[in-house]
Amino acid sequence: MEQPLTDPGAPVGTEPNEVPTGRLVLIGLFAALGVFVIILGLLVLFYRAEARLEQERHFGVPYTEVENLVAEQQATLVEYRWLDQEKNIVAIPIDRAMEIVVRELQAQQAREPKTSE
């Protein structure tokens, strides 16, 4: 049987003489545990964010910038353009340049006399 919290002889409307320490200790433990879990969770979030920022700082070029750079380089390989208009130097697509080189090498080999060994 539980003891009453109030003194039976106390006037009506007064506070109990005893503090429920068991309940207070339990509430305090759960509050401390909750604060500990929250702090631990915040630390995990912080260190993950810090690692991600550190990785971006070291390997920093965003992927879209790399894609744009590759696209620009690919475009220069497939277009005709002036490199130096005063000296009449042009850039031609790489495929066309390879065809011309192969044709020139074949013509050069056809002109050279074959030597039998």
Compare 63 and 69 and report the one with higher pLDDT: 69
**Domain that residue 33 falls in:** 20-60
Q: Is 117 helix (H, G, I), strand (E, B) or coil?
A: coil
The answer to whether position 102 is within a domain reads no
Displacement of CA 20 from its chain's centroid (Å): 52
Bridge partners for 89 per DSSP: 84
For residue 94, tell me if it sits in a domain. Answer: no
Does some domain include residue 50? yes
**Within a domain: 26:** yes
| 28 within some domain | yes
- pLDDT attached to residue 64: 82
Domain assignment present for 51: yes
Strand partners, 60: none
Each residue of 70-83: pLDDT tens digit? 999 888 888 888 88
> Which amino acid appears at position 39 of this protein?
I
Matching residue, tokens 């700082």: 57
33 inside domain:
yes
Backbone φ/ψ region at 92: left (φ over 0), alpha (ψ -120 to 50), beta: beta
**Is a pLDDT exceeding 90 seen at residue 8?**
no
29 within domain boundaries: yes
* 3-class DSSP state of 113: coil
Number of domains the chain contains: 1
Q: What is the pLDDT of residues 9-64, one digit of tens each?
A: 667 767 666 778 899 999 999 999 999 999 999 999 999 999 998 888 877 666 78
